[in-house]
Structure 1
């Protein structure tokens, strides 16, 4: 397959995934905007609470993301039984993860206070998280089933499932946070209820679609039946993937904790800048998912030249996206930040001033963040997860976190220093992971067998 053909194939597969991720982030963005309108302190609380929730959620997504390359490889081999087994055990592991993590969300106030957060914000965050804790299971079930569908290249469905959830979430927030449509004004608790119900609706929609239109694998028949062998396989791949995600999200969670030490205004500015950066990061994540599926298919066929060309194209597309994002963040920081704030909020000017600096730094890390997540997708496609896990830990906890602390507090650069630490951690991951794929994995794979075809 030629390079232009690879571009078309990745875009056909990746654009709906990008749209689905953008819509998913749009749900979080809607929460942040509406809570920001409710008040700066509420925004700081939700920033902190969502940081903890999504740290655990992304850790749990390791099992969902393990399903994607496994199903893609089994589908390329035409093995429907293995597709069913892998997806079912992904659902089992997601459910078990939720049981283990539920107490951490339920009793989150003590954890947040131990991490140096103010008693008021920690207490309010726990109120929010005690509702949202019940959303972890439907969120992870949805993610596992989306990975299954994406691996089968049914990416349009992944997109539309999320698009259905987005307006629902906005209306639920509008009704429950502010007390519209006859509902009581519940503030932060209303935002949590809206998010919980959105996760449930998303799960029901994707399950209904699979039951109606994807019957080949009989996915939900005898779902209760254990499968120890496949359980172990998904576990072995999913745990390092989850820990890799935990390393990155842990870095960002730690940055939010450190921002909380600086005060409400830095934490609110951090939340806004991170939401904007995360929204556009979804473009890279969609390309990464497409790279995982394409690499997984090539892995199943033993077609290494196809995999290499696809990897080059995915990274090039990510670099183009990063360039556009950098221009946007540098040229229009103030209007972007102002979207999140009530014009009458007395803290508005201070949040915007700090947010502009952070958004310029976010523009810098788009390039390295895109490079690391796309090559991570390629590595997952060939089911290489353990060494990337180590590289992620070294980059984020060995480079990024210490740099953020030293620059932010020892050198007293404050919020700017913390964000420079984020950039350094992401850059380290990009270098190590690209070296792993191009100079270690590709030469090793190329020696295994001759290409099986160029489908």
Structure 2
């Protein structure tokens, strides 16, 4: 145990990098969780609209996030290779991509109402979905800028600033949610629009904090964070070469989940609300895991940059030990006290009989979550390792295949052709996540990633 703790790529190094990222991701989860709690108490229509609109926004923005976040691997490999002057140039190429993404989201916002017609949800829910989605699109710029600037710290293994910034933004978001949704203090009652405004304001706070922390005189001297601001066509091209597959992979993953949510929405308002709540609770397990995903990607990237892939492999194994331990604790909560979690989301004015039916359904859905959670850990750990080395084309192709063949087509057939219910659709989602975990594990075991890099060495 002590050997696993202190050795290169051991538990200590993984926790040192990943735990602040876990806390950072947890702060994002807390923001979303409190959003849904406040909206759940506000009205059933608001909680039913928040997740489809939020996921649809995320499925669009996540493509750019996937590309931009790959700056993290460039920073990690350049740091491992001892070329700090390339760190600032990499960050700026990510910022240029962020600007393109912000302009795209701004254009999409003008088609908010049209995007939700296909969903087949009721007119009242559809109207709220369009409002929530439009406001989130307006705030996409600061969110994308924050992703790029955070890579300056996470790619070098200094993840505490990322944690502190995101925790601060979460602390600001919670009271803003309460005030803007319910009309407290000096604010008017804005309902679901208030939740979206609170989120975009938190993104703005995050971006300003990162700008203040990154663009210092010392960082400019060491890493050229301002001197390397020019557009570098060659470096930008390499970011696109490796980052675009990462963006497509991230897009397809969220698209598959979004399609799944819209399919459950076609089954009825109660089924949609139960699914939204179960997925929100699932985010308590999944989102912090993204911290280990980015952490292992950073460690593997640095090891590849130094020419020491064996240390990266050791870190992957140790990271899997830690993530499985975390997941086991979360699953125990899902299995033994699911009703307590579900009752946090009781909508205002909902009858006891209807709410108890939703809780009963939610308990079964959390059992599905408990089943696929460990495959989720496999997928996040091994895909993080593959991306840290530069094996993004395989990750992209696997996600494309599994999303279409195992999730989208079967979910559509289950609902629209065979008249299946909620549990049949959740079986499809479980198969989708399980297949990803197995596929990324097999690719990692092949060892091909150990001969790759993204910096042309």
Relative to the length of structure 2, the TM-score reads: 0.93
Partner of 1:264: 269
**Do the aligned residues in 1 keep the contact of 2:45 with 2:124 (CA within 8 Å)?**
no
Q: Is 1:9 the equivalent of 2:43?
A: no
Structure 2 residue 67 is the aligned partner of structure 1 residue 28: no
Once the two structures are TM-superposed, the CA of residue 221 in structure 1 deviates from its matched residue by 4.7
Task: Measure how far apart 1:207 and its partner are.
Answer: 1.2
Specify the alignment match of 2:436 in structure 1: 429
What does residue range 323-342 of structure 1 map to in structure 2 within 5 Å?
323-342=328-347
Judge conservation of contact 1:248–1:392 (CA < 8 Å) in 2. yes
Q: What are the within-5 Å matches in structure 2 for residues 349-428 of structure 1?
A: 349-408=356-415, 410-428=417-435
1:380 & 1:365 partners in 2: Cα distance? 22
Is the Cα–Cα contact under 8 Å of residues 386 and 449 in structure 2 kept in the other structure? no
2:142 maps to 138
The Cα of 1:290 is off from its aligned counterpart by 1.0
Q: Distance in 2 between matches of 1:214 and 1:36?
A: 44
Q: Which one of the candidate residues 164, 167, 170 is aligned to 1:166?
A: 170
Distance 1:246 1:291, change over 3 A: same
RMSD (Å) for aligned C-alpha atoms: 1.9
Residues 267 and 421 in structure 2, CA contact (< 8 A), matched pair in contact too: yes
SS in 2 for 1:113: coil
Distance 2:90 2:141 in 1: 18
Name the counterpart of 1:297. 302
CA drift of 1:354 comes to: 1.7
Pick aligned residue for 2:43 from 36, 39, 42: 39
Q: Distance in 2 between the 1:335 and 1:291 partners?
A: 33
* Residues 443 and 46 of structure 1, relative CA distance in 2, 3 Å threshold: closer
* d(CA) in 2 for partners of 1:159, 1:25: 13
Q: Name the counterpart of 1:219.
A: 225
Q: Structure 1, unaligned stretches of length 5 or more? A: 447-455
Unaligned runs of 5+ in 2: none
Q: Any conservation in 1 of the 2:335–2:370 contact (CA below 8 Å)?
A: yes
Determine the structure 1 residue equivalent to 2:53: 49
Instruction: Give yes or no for contact 1:63–1:144 (8 Å, CA) kept in 2.
Output: no
Of 111, 116, 120, the residue aligned with 1:116 is: 120
* Alignment CA distance shift 1:279-1:227 (3 Å): same
Could you tell me whether the CA contact under 8 Å between 2:376 and 2:433 is conserved in 1? yes
Q: In structure 2, how many angstroms separate the alpha carbons of the residues matched to 1:262 and 1:445? A: 46
Q: Post-superposition shift, 1:81?
A: 2.2
Q: How much has 1:409 moved relative to structure 2?
A: 5.2
Assess if the C-alpha contact under 8 Å between 1:17 and 1:155 holds in 2. yes
| Aligned-partner Cα distance in 2 for 1:23–1:120 | 31
Aligned residues: 445
* Mapping of residues 57-136 of structure 1, within 5 Å: 57-136=61-140
Q: Once the two structures are superposed, what CA deviation does each residue of 1:13-64 show, in whole Å capped at 9, x if it has no partner? A: 1111100000011111111111111011111111111011111222221122
- Provide the residue aligned with 1:237 in structure 2: 242
- Normalised to the residue count of structure 1, the TM-score between the two structures is 0.93
Contact 1:20 1:158 in 2 (8 A): yes
Bigger shift: 5-14 or 312-321?
312-321
Instruction: Give, in angstroms, the shift of residue 155 of structure 1.
Output: 0.7
More displaced stretch, 348-357 vs 230-239? 348-357
Q: Note the C-alpha offset of 1:437.
A: 1.6
Tell me how far apart the structure 1 counterparts of residues 424 and 62 of structure 2 sit (CA, whole Å).
25
Name the counterpart of 2:326: 321
Distance 1:24 1:290 in 2: 17
Q: CA 1:445/1:198 → structure 2, altered by over 3 Å: closer, same or farther? A: closer
Bigger mean CA deviation after superposition, 155-164 or 310-319: 310-319
Contact 1:395–1:428 (8 Å) recurs in 2? yes
Q: Determine the C-alpha separation between the residues in 2 that align with 1:229 and 1:120.
A: 49
Q: Distance in 2 between matches of 1:439 and 1:320?
A: 25
Establish whether residue 147 from structure 1 lines up as the match of residue 151 from structure 2: yes
Distance (whole Å) between structure 2 residues aligned to residue 445 and residue 80 of structure 1: 20
Distance in 2 between residues matched to 1:408 and 1:114, nearest whole Å: 15
Partner of 1:280: 285
User: Which sits farther off after the overlay, 112-121 or 186-195?
Assistant: 112-121
